[in-house]
Amino acid sequence: QVQLVESGGGLVQPGGSLRLSCARSGSISRLNAMGWYRQAPGKQRELVAVIHNGGSTNYADSVKGRFTISRDNAKNTVYLQMNNLKPEDTAVYYCYIDFVDLFLSRRDYWGQGTQVTVSS
């Protein structure tokens, strides 16, 4: 069974940095994409960044130039480096995976979420 374990959230001052990690366990047939979504109180969950199987990336306009998504295939881990954080980045960040399972069915899965709070 696929599991995602997130880490790296916390409290940081405006202008600071954090790095989120998401480690995948469990066997899959093919990884399509991994990424990060976030949900602030009273708002809908939104895409932050995604990295596709071929290595291409997409970012929300609000984080372009400040956040970088990367992955370590050997560790089955995706990272989100967040720089120049702003109070509006405060949210619960969820790791996301789009994959094909061992029965060749396409599936997606979410992590449990990690809180990021940007405040002075």
Handedness of CA 70, 68, 45, 90 (dihedral sign): positive
pLDDT of residue 55: 93
Residue 111: predicted pLDDT: 94
Cα 3-6-8 angle, rounded to 5 deg = 165
For residue 1, the model assigns a pLDDT of: 87
Question: pLDDT tens per residue, the chain (120 residues)?
Answer: 899 999 999 999 999 999 999 999 999 999 999 999 999 999 999 999 999 999 999 999 999 999 999 999 999 999 999 999 999 999 999 999 999 999 999 999 999 999 999 999
